Amino acid sequence: MNAPEKEDPRKILAKMEVEHNAAQEKAKKAEEEYEKKSKELLSQLRTDDLADVIAKCQMHGFTLTDVKKGLKTKGAARKSTPRKSPARKTTTTTRRKKPSA
């Protein structure tokens, strides 16, 4: 039986690096294509949804004020502002009894 010849580690490393770089390029192109396609689809959805909203507003006779009232958040949903200074600590002091004479 002939023992398989060992390949040079440098050649193996160079081959792996080329394959790795090719895979990175392929992934980068796929990411760019995904971003481009998703932007196009979101833009199309936005225009379609906007046309739908305009049609519904005209059908029901909504005004801009009506729409704005529907978009406002409720009081509980608002984020409370933090206090500027920490709350005071109230401590009760105990009176000392006067020593009896």
- Alpha carbon distance 4, 23 (integer Å): 29
CA dihedral 58, 62, 68, 73 (to 10 degrees): -110
**DSSP for 14-81?**
HHHHHHHHHHHHHHHHHHHHHHHHHHHHHHHHHHHHHHHHHHHHHHHT--HHHHHHHHSPPGGGSPPP
- Per-residue model confidence (pLDDT) at position 75: 59
- Per-residue model confidence (pLDDT) at position 1: 42
Question: For 36-81, how does the pLDDT look when each residue is reduced to its tens digit (9 = 90+)?
Answer: 999 999 999 999 999 998 999 899 898 888 888 878 766 555 566 6
Question: For 17-43, how does the pLDDT look when each residue is reduced to its tens digit (9 = 90+)?
Answer: 999 999 999 999 999 999 999 999 999
pTM beyond 0.85: the answer is no
- Per-residue model confidence (pLDDT) at position 3: 45
